[in-house]
């Protein structure tokens, strides 16, 4: 068994000089044009993870896994909105307002384009995932499942169609939350 020998700095002056150089370099880097903060880094991680999932298990399965996370988040958010409203179930208008509000809180640009007894149509000009959503369709399952879960848990049923998405190259998103059964999209039951 060999013994481990720790190397000590040759002199304290040399170690102090090295630390001073590190501090100087770190100071210079603070003003460097590197576009990173916690939010940007988190979006990059999500983009890369969805890409890895797509490569490893395919688009549909990756969408399913991201959708599971979206469903769980949707359930938690729904509880918060119900508590704030002081109701057991949100009405159609409250659901629409909650969907827009939650996207606003995460820097999305959603608004209600149309609302009636059969559907809530939302348009979006800015994705919360920023440019990292481009080419990463599974990330859209987060929106589909959050919207679908909140709508179905309050109104009994939802079928979400992602008619246009930034991820697929459109300038914006158009999301239709159908409140009556039909074909197309993903179904959610309350």
**What are the tens digits of pLDDT across the range 76-125?**
999 999 999 999 999 999 999 999 999 999 999 999 999 999 999 999 99
117 within domain boundaries: yes
Under 8 Å between Cβ of 169 and 161: no
Under 8 Å between Cβ of 143 and 162: yes
| pLDDT over 90 at 1, yes or no | no
Surface-to-core class of residue 31, CB atoms within 10 Å of its CB (0-12 exposed, 13-18 middle, 19+ buried): exposed
| pLDDT over 60 at 8, yes or no | no
Tally of domains in the chain: 1
Region 14-22 average pLDDT: 85
Work out the mean pLDDT of the chain and round it to a whole number.
93
54 within domain boundaries: yes
87 within domain boundaries: yes
pLDDT band with cut points at 50, 70 and 90 for residue 68 = very high
Q: What is the CATH number of the domain that holds 59?
A: 3.30.1380.20
123 within domain boundaries: yes
Write out the residue range of the structural domain in which residue 109 sits.
38-189
53 within domain boundaries: yes
Q: Which residue reads 């102090």 in tokens?
A: 16
CA distance 45 to 53: 12
3 within domain boundaries: no
pLDDT band with cut points at 50, 70 and 90 for residue 34 = confident
88 Cβ contact list (under 8 Å, min separation 6): 82
CA distance 151 to 145: 10
């Amino acid at each position: 068994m060999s013994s481990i020998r720790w190397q000590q700095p040759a002199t304290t002056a040399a170690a102090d000089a090295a630390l001073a150089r590190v501090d100087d370099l770190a100071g210079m880097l603070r003003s460097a044009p590197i576009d990173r903060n916690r939010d940007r880094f988190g979006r990059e991680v999500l983009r890369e993870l969805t890409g890895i999932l797509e490569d490893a298990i395919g688009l549909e399965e990756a969408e399913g896994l991201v959708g599971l996370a979206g469903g769980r988040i949707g359930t938690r958010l729904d509880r918060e909105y119900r508590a704030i409203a002081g109701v057991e179930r949100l009405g159609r208008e409250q659901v629409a307002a909650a969907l827009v509000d939650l996207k606003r809180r995460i820097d999305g640009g959603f608004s209600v384009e149309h609302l009636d007894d059969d559907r809530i149509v939302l348009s979006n000009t800015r994705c919360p995932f920023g440019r990292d959503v481009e080419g990463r369709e599974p990330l859209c399952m987060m929106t589909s499942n959050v919207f679908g879960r909140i709508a179905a848990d309050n109104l009994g049923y939802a079928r979400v169609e992602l008619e246009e998405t930034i991820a697929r190259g459109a300038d914006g998103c158009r999301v239709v939350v159908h409140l009556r059964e039909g074909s197309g999209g993903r179904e959610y039951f309350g």
